[in-house]
Amino acid sequence: MKIIKSLLLSATFVGLLMCGNKTIAQTRIGDTGVTFDNSKNDANYPFMKEWQKAGVKNGIPSRNSLVVKKEIKPTDSDGIQEAIDSLDTGGKTSVILLKEGEYNIDKPITIKSNVVLRGENQEAVKLNVTIRSNGSNDKKTFIFKESKNSGIEDLSMEYIPKKDVTIYDDKNVNRNKYCGDKCFGNNPEGLKDMYVTFVRIDSKSKNCWVDNCVFKNSGSDPIEIMGNNNTFRGNFVDACFNKGGGGNGYYDIRGDYNLIAYERVRRIRHFTIQLGAKYNVVINCDLEVDVNFHNDDDGFNLVEKNKIKSEQWRSWGAFASGGSRFGHRKPGENNIIFNNDVSGKNNSSQFGGSDKVFVFDQYSKPRVLRNSAPTGGTFYPAILNGGGSNISVSSVSLSHAAISLNVDETRKLNETVLPNNATNKSVTWSSSDTSIATVNSSGSVTAVSSGVAIITVTSNDGNKTASSTITVVDGTGSQFITLTPIHDAYLQGSDETRFNNEIIRVENGKRVGYFQFDLRSISGSITNAKLKLTCINDSGSGEVNVELGNNNDWTESNLSNKNKPLSSTLLGSLDSDYSLGTTYTWDLDNNKIPTNGIVSIIVSHVEGNDMAFASKENSTNVPQLEISYLPTSSARTTLKKDISKNDNNVLAYPNPFNNELSVLLGNNDIHSIKVTNIEGRIIYEKQQISPNENKIDLLLKNRENGMYIIILEGKEYTKTLKVIKKN
């Protein structure tokens, strides 16, 4: 095997090793180029050399060693299957690249030999699985059928049920109390058609792999491995709809010589090794689930150097087996457990550590085999280039991109730091506005007052960040809205020259900024108002006033000395040092802001050093006017229900899109659709949608790149979708 000398293209899970001023790839278990130090073999375990054969023969090919022969844009199952079936591989492993966007997976897909499905970007290539199957007809999303040298890489999958279904697990139940059937049952909320597996490798498939993928909310089993010499590496498996009895919700290993490395698995029923499984290796994984030698494995499986935790809300300890009373046969011989970080219920920690070797060859739990480590300190003496040096954090993500809380309510955000084997996975938390929401060191967010705050998690290694938008309501019927300017510009110098670009400069006596906001959607009394501006290009200091203008007879295209608004009253003031990249908040006098109309706001510098703020033309840091208001009684009676959290069948795809966009309406009574740009300008509208119409195709060919808002309205609700146009 040759050691890889070039960087793997999949930056999400590749650890980087710094050596002087050079950056070289850190070889990982499962790569091409991994060798073994057989001087560490222990004569007491003559079978340990067999574990070196686990996984894809010669390792997973590096990303840049395989030829991309075909690229496809977001489509459905038929589109992907046609690309697979028509690909002429010439007998060599070849790549089909899935471009960024959302794919509708409505039928099972078969992977043939020598085909690799690779996402362009793990986070941006999302496969929405809408396959339906009852318990007697379990379907597979992807099946490797008699496949050789095939793989799936760098993409995300999520099962989308017919209606919104709550999955009960440690996100929303007491972690310190057994949850029972609420968490470990089948057919949640009466849905009996979600028995769908994400990936199955059949018994005749060999040398296949799944690398650096996300599997979220599987219908039933996320993974089923029946074949031999396959590698599952660096994947994140999170949650499952059906995880009751009958073999549901398993990460299911049944074949021989399979390598499971750097996996993160949580919120499913079992991580199982069973039914003839032999010489499989589970190493360097993060498992928040029991490792279960469930039924009649053939022994000689290795579980080494993993973090394994099974908390009180689950029924099982960190290690478990099936039961004879259920017809399960006991585990096989020489299932070795060594050097794992183990915690959880049933005194699970007793099976951890590197000072003893455990064997799982009986019902219920492992037993001590030897009170000493193997002579070489490991059963899997892999040699990795880089000498085991630090593996850097490549990305961090959060469990929720946005949540809504009532005042005094608390919700925990869970971070995911990748790769799973990063050396330093510690993070810090921060809030953009602690007067609205605070966050503690473990990610628990507490709502303080109505408004919007951004909670950010930052990795201490590499400063990788992820954010969640927290909307806080006061529980009194108050509504909240964030507005962006419809016009903004600034005037400069004695002749007051107009500038309309990506910045608004303010300087005492020389430059003044002007913003115009449309408040006509607000019907009621304003209870709280904040203006948020982000400092860019030029830092500064001193007092900056925000004032209400006395007229709206201007636009960003014609603002001048003659039509500029003059100050009618002071709304708010802030005296600060203004640093680049920081967003600043002015608390405004809500009693002075008129509603149900256009409002002009003047931003002026009173003293100190001049500065610049982002304008609405800067898509990254758009100015925001945040308004909380109490609707009038008549307005309250006509408020529609927002179904954005309740209807997963409404979908816009592909996202991002190029020129063409489709909107699935599901089974909802939607009578109108409107598309606006980020400034709120309507670019498409259809008022009469037929009851039989379940999809709308849009052509937005001559529109600029950027974010667009889709607003769907029915008799009893509205739904808002965000899409990105990207050529």
Same domain as 408, residue 303: no
Nearest CA to 85 out of 101, 74, 66, 72 is that of: 72
Is residue 635 predicted with pLDDT exceeding 50?
A: no
| Residue 79, SS3 per DSSP | helix
Question: The CATH number of the domain where 509 resides is what?
Answer: 2.60.120
- Torsion sign (Cα): 385, 388, 389, 394: positive
Question: The CATH number of the domain where 646 resides is what?
Answer: 2.60.40.3080
Same domain as 372, residue 239: yes
- Give residue 715's pLDDT band: very low, low, confident or very high (50, 70, 90): low
> Domain ends where: 579, 603, 637?
637
Instruction: Specify if 112 maps to a domain.
Output: yes
- 272-298 average pLDDT score: 97
Question: The CATH number of the domain where 469 resides is what?
Answer: 2.60.40.1080
Considering only 214-223, 255-264, 267-276, 521-530, which range has the smallest mean pLDDT? 521-530
Is residue 2 predicted with pLDDT exceeding 60?
A: no
Among 3-12, 159-168, 680-689, the range with the most confident prediction by mean pLDDT is 159-168
Query: Which pLDDT score, from 0 to 100, does residue 681 have?
Result: 63
Same domain as 667, residue 544: no
Same domain as 449, residue 321: no
262 Cβ contact list (under 8 Å, min separation 6): 13, 28, 29, 30, 233, 234, 284, 285, 419, 420, 421
Instruction: Specify if 532 maps to a domain.
Output: yes
Whole-angstrom distance, CA of residue 204 vs CA of residue 183: 34
Q: Do residues 451 and 481 make contact, with C-beta atoms less than 8 angstroms apart?
A: no
DSSP strands (E only) in 555-669: 567-578, 583-588, 598-607, 611-614, 624-631, 641-642, 651-653, 660-664
| Residue 282, SS3 per DSSP | strand
Query: Which pLDDT score, from 0 to 100, does residue 707 have?
Result: 74
Q: Percent of the chain beyond pLDDT 90?
A: 57
Same domain as 416, residue 363: no
Considering only 329-333, 396-400, 581-585, which range has the smallest mean pLDDT? 396-400
Is residue 475 predicted with pLDDT exceeding 70?
A: no
Same domain as 497, residue 430: no
- 193-201 average pLDDT score: 97
Q: Model pTM greater than 0.75?
A: no
The structure tokens listed for 724 are 């990105």
Whole-angstrom distance, CA of residue 53 vs CA of residue 571: 71
Same domain as 673, residue 598: no
Nearest CA to 597 out of 517, 483, 481 is that of: 517
Q: Which residue has the tokens 């095997």?
A: 1
Nearest CA to 413 out of 450, 467, 459, 461 is that of: 467
Instruction: Specify if 562 maps to a domain.
Output: yes
Q: Do residues 588 and 571 make contact, with C-beta atoms less than 8 angstroms apart?
A: yes
Nearest CA to 625 out of 454, 482, 479 is that of: 482
Q: Percent of the chain beyond pLDDT 70?
A: 91
For 484, the domain range is 480-637
Query: Which pLDDT score, from 0 to 100, does residue 15 have?
Result: 35
Instruction: Specify if 597 maps to a domain.
Output: yes
- Sheet arrangement for strand 540-549: 497-499, 487-492, 511-518, 598-607, 540-549, 567-578
| Residue 535, SS3 per DSSP | strand
- 400-428 average pLDDT score: 80
The structure tokens listed for 153 are 């890489």
Same domain as 291, residue 208: yes
Is residue 19 predicted with pLDDT exceeding 60?
A: no
- 392-419 average pLDDT score: 82
- Give residue 13's pLDDT band: very low, low, confident or very high (50, 70, 90): very low
Q: What is the mean pLDDT of the chain?
A: 86
Instruction: Specify if 48 maps to a domain.
Output: no
Same domain as 285, residue 166: yes
Return the amino acid letter for 76. Answer: D
- Sheet arrangement for strand 270-273: 109-111, 139-144, 196-201, 223-225, 250-253, 270-273, 291-293, 319-321
625: left (phi over 0), alpha (psi -120 to 50) or beta: beta
Please write the tens of the pLDDT for every residue from 133-173.
998 778 999 999 999 999 999 999 999 999 989 999 988 88
- 352-370 average pLDDT score: 96
Query: Which pLDDT score, from 0 to 100, does residue 636 have?
Result: 42
- Domains of the chain: total: 4
Query: Which pLDDT score, from 0 to 100, does residue 476 have?
Result: 60
Instruction: Specify if 50 maps to a domain.
Output: no
Query: Which pLDDT score, from 0 to 100, does residue 473 have?
Result: 73
- 60-70 average pLDDT score: 94
Is residue 377 predicted with pLDDT exceeding 90?
A: yes
Instruction: Specify if 44 maps to a domain.
Output: no
Instruction: Specify if 205 maps to a domain.
Output: yes
654 Cβ contact list (under 8 Å, min separation 6): 73, 74, 75, 101, 102, 103, 661
Same domain as 351, residue 412: no
> Domain ends where: 598, 619, 637?
637
> Domain ends where: 340, 360, 383?
383
Same domain as 489, residue 408: no
Query: Which pLDDT score, from 0 to 100, does residue 391 have?
Result: 74
Please write the tens of the pLDDT for every residue from 98-121.
999 999 999 999 999 999 999 999
90 Cβ contact list (under 8 Å, min separation 6): none
Considering only 401-415, 472-486, 553-567, 615-629, which range has the smallest mean pLDDT? 472-486
Is residue 650 predicted with pLDDT exceeding 90?
A: no
Considering only 22-36, 66-80, 294-308, 360-374, which range has the smallest mean pLDDT? 22-36
Same domain as 487, residue 446: no
